[in-house]
Amino acid sequence: MLFRQLIEPDSSTYTYLLHCPDSGKSALIDPVLDTVERDLKLLNELGLKLDFTLDTHVHADHLTGAKRLKELTGSRIVGPAIDQLPCTDIGVREGETFRLGNIEIHPLYTPGHTDHHHAYLIDNGTHKMLFSGDALLIEACGRTDFQSGDAATLYRSIHDKFFTLPDETLVYPCHDYEGRFVTTIAQEKIRNPRLGNNKSLDEFVEIMNNMDLPYPRKIDFAVPGNEQCGACPENVPDEYRTPCDRHDQG
């Protein structure tokens, strides 16, 4: 399997490229509209064709590149079936394997950050790779104060779906804000200040309910735009319109 980790710096969003050399199939997990051109350049340099984009959830901090990439490459848009987005070509569900050639991608329903959040688990034969979206971050986790988030639900998702995986499982989150790239299940069980060292449900809920985080600066246009797989709503502020203008001009 060919694998690349890429970052969009404004929202600190990680995009992941997966490629199956046996079938020639390629996918991007959580692509960002702002970095579509970069992703296409990388695909071209590697001699790859993009077949799928997979989003973990309806993002609030950036516009997904799924729609734009489909227009430019013919790739198919994959996302949680529970979202019922008309723009999605393929809906994924826990218990139903999504195949990227010979790579088996296992969706894990992990609500709490948002009510429809999914993570993606791969076993590459050497170790397991968890693409945790916003549910579990590196020594952190996704916030739970918007988009039907719920701290108790997130706690159960992380403990029941993630912390039951082998300790050696590599965790690749959708974001990191401190220049870190990867973690493991073992590390998060011990070092995560919100969840580690067997934090109780009540302790976690209290932490999450008292974080006093700022209002997400892109949420008002990102959520409705991502409900259309990355379309640019009219209310995108001028300071964020450059990727939209490139999109609108084709």
User: What is the value of pTM for the model shown?
Assistant: 0.97
pLDDT of residue 249: 44
Asked, for residue 249, whether it belongs to a domain, the answer is: no
Distance CA 16, CA 66 (A): 13
Radius of gyration from C-alpha coordinates of the chain:
17
The CATH code of the domain that includes 111 is: 3.60.15.10
Asked, for residue 243, whether it belongs to a domain, the answer is: no
Asked, for residue 105, whether it belongs to a domain, the answer is: yes
User: Total structural domains in the chain?
Assistant: 1
Asked, for residue 242, whether it belongs to a domain, the answer is: no
Tell me which residue range forms the domain holding 158.
2-213
Q: Which two tokens stand for residue 167?
A: 């300790």
Query: What is the DSSP annotation of 79-143?
Result: EEGGG--TT-SEEE-TTSPEEETTEEEEEEE-TTSSTT-EEEEEE-SSSEEEEEETTEETTEE--
* N- to C-terminal Cα separation, the chain: 32
Asked, for residue 13, whether it belongs to a domain, the answer is: yes
Asked, for residue 177, whether it belongs to a domain, the answer is: yes
> Do the Cβ atoms of 33 and 66 come closer than 8 Å?
no
Consecutive 10-residue averages of pLDDT for the chain (250 residues): 97 98 98 98 98 98 98 98 98 98 98 98 95 98 96 98 98 97 98 97 98 95 98 96 72
SS3 state at 5: strand
Asked, for residue 237, whether it belongs to a domain, the answer is: no
Asked, for residue 234, whether it belongs to a domain, the answer is: no
